[in-house]
């Protein structure tokens, strides 16, 4: 199954590449665009980007299952990971006009971690919040120290999680009916990737929600490097 998934991702990437190249050519000649063709090109660009992200997620699952996920651990400041991730995700979802708050301490939060993988964790959690929070809703990101642990919280005022789904929210391909109706994006892969990466870093992740319509909160706990010296 894992080998099949890897081959499938490879073939789909090959099929998607000519479309992406054609879009690049159209973008370079956009000065001759009509409003209709410009709008159509923008729609195609968004869908190609969406498909590319889905393939990235499928590829990550395949790598993890086959033990091929590479880690390059080093000293990482969680605050910088959060800043970069918020900028990347919220610029993509700017049209949703979310009220975003970011709370970070003055001093670094040092982790012994792979910076790229940590960014995957934060980006996936933020994307999940943005995808399932209504226009104008709130998203709060807090990073802090909790004794010998680093703690990251991502809370939203979105659609929430039903009690019966909470124990399975990190399982592969799990999405509630409300989530499917609210957003067509995603296959229920992102949160599974979050858990796998956090586990591999010796941490834990927990999902909390008072139920449908009550928003949700994801809490990541990771070993803290007490000194960067």
For 178-206, what is the mean pLDDT?
A: 77
pLDDT digits (tens, 9 = 90+) for 161-172: 999 999 999 987
pLDDT at 109: 96
Does residue 111 sit in the same domain as residue 166?
A: yes
Does residue 127 sit in the same domain as residue 192?
A: yes
Task: Give the end of a domain, one of 38, 65, 92.
Answer: 65
Does residue 92 sit in the same domain as residue 33?
A: no
Does residue 95 sit in the same domain as residue 203?
A: yes
Does residue 149 sit in the same domain as residue 116?
A: yes
Total structural domains within the chain: 2
Does residue 55 sit in the same domain as residue 103?
A: no
Does residue 28 sit in the same domain as residue 88?
A: no
pLDDT digits (tens, 9 = 90+) for 96-153: 788 999 999 999 999 999 998 899 899 999 989 998 999 899 999 999 999 899 999 9
**Is 138 part of a structural domain of the chain?**
yes
Taking the C-alpha atoms of residue 50 and residue 28, their distance in angstroms, rounded to an integer, is: 21
Res. 154: pLDDT tops 70: yes
pLDDT at 227: 66
Mean pLDDT rounded to a whole number for the chain: 83
**Is 140 part of a structural domain of the chain?**
yes
- DSSP string of the chain? -HHHHHHHHHHHHHHHHHHHHHHHHHHHTGGG--HHHHHHHHHHHHHHHHHHHHHHHHHHHHHHHTT------EEEEHHHHHHHHHHHHHHHTGGG--EEEEE--SS--EEEE-HHHHHHHHHHHHHHHHHTS-TT-EEEEEEEEETTEEEEEEEESSS---TTTGGGTTSTT---HHHHHH-----S-HHHHHHHHHHHTT-EEEEE-SSTTS-EEEEEEEE--S---
Does residue 166 sit in the same domain as residue 185?
A: yes
Task: Give the end of a domain, one of 34, 65, 96.
Answer: 65
Question: 107: domain CATH number?
Answer: 3.30.565.10
pLDDT at 149: 95
Taking the C-alpha atoms of residue 76 and residue 80, their distance in angstroms, rounded to an integer, is: 8
Res. 209: pLDDT tops 90: yes
Question: Domain residues for 149?
Answer: 74-223
**Is 229 part of a structural domain of the chain?**
no
**Is 156 part of a structural domain of the chain?**
yes
**Is 228 part of a structural domain of the chain?**
no
Q: Are 79 and 119 in contact (CB under 8 A)?
A: no
Task: Give the end of a domain, one of 21, 45, 65.
Answer: 65
The CA-atom distances, in angstroms, between 40 and each of 32, 96, 102 are 14, 20, 35
For 193-218, what is the mean pLDDT?
A: 94
Res. 91: pLDDT tops 90: no
Does residue 56 sit in the same domain as residue 98?
A: no
Q: Are 30 and 90 in contact (CB under 8 A)?
A: no
**Is 183 part of a structural domain of the chain?**
yes
**Is 12 part of a structural domain of the chain?**
yes
Does residue 54 sit in the same domain as residue 116?
A: no
219 — pLDDT class (breaks 50, 70, 90): very high
pLDDT at 68: 65
pLDDT digits (tens, 9 = 90+) for 33-81: 677 777 777 777 777 776 777 777 777 777 777 666 777 889 999 999 9
CA 15 vs. chain centroid, Å, equals 24
pLDDT at 178: 53
pTM: 0.74
Q: Minimal CA–CA distance to 130: which of 118, 141, 119, 114?
A: 141
Does residue 207 sit in the same domain as residue 118?
A: yes
Does residue 192 sit in the same domain as residue 140?
A: yes
For 209-214, what is the mean pLDDT?
A: 94
pLDDT at 172: 79
Res. 184: pLDDT tops 90: no
């Amino acid at each position: 199954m894992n080998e099949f998934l890897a081959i499938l991702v490879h073939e789909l990437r090959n099929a998607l590449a000519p479309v992406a190249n054609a879009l690049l050519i159209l973008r370079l000649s956009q000065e001759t665009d009509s409003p209709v063709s410009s709008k159509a090109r923008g729609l195609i660009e968004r869908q190609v980007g969406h498909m590319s992200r889905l393939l990235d997620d499928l590829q990550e699952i395949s790598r993890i299952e086959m033990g091929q996920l590479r880690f390059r651990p080093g000293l990482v400041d969680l605050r910088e990971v959060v800043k970069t991730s918020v900028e990347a995700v919220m610029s993509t979802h700017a049209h949703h006009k979310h009220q975003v708050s970011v709370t970070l301490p003055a001093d670094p939060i040092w982790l012994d971690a792979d910076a790229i993988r940590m960014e995957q964790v934060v980006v996936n959690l933020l994307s999940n919040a943005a995808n399932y929070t209504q226009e104008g809703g709130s998203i709060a990101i807090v990073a802090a120290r909790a004794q010998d642990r680093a703690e990251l919280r991502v809370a939203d005022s979105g659609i929430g999680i039903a009690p019966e789904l909470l124990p399975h929210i990190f399982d592969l391909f799990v999405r509630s009916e409300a989530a499917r109706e609210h957003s067509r994006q995603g296959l229920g892969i992102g949160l599974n990737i979050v858990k796998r990466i956090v586990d591999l870093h010796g941490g834990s992740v927990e999902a909390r929600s008072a139920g449908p319509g009550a928003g949700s909160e994801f809490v990541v706990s990771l070993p803290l490097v007490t000194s960067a010296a």
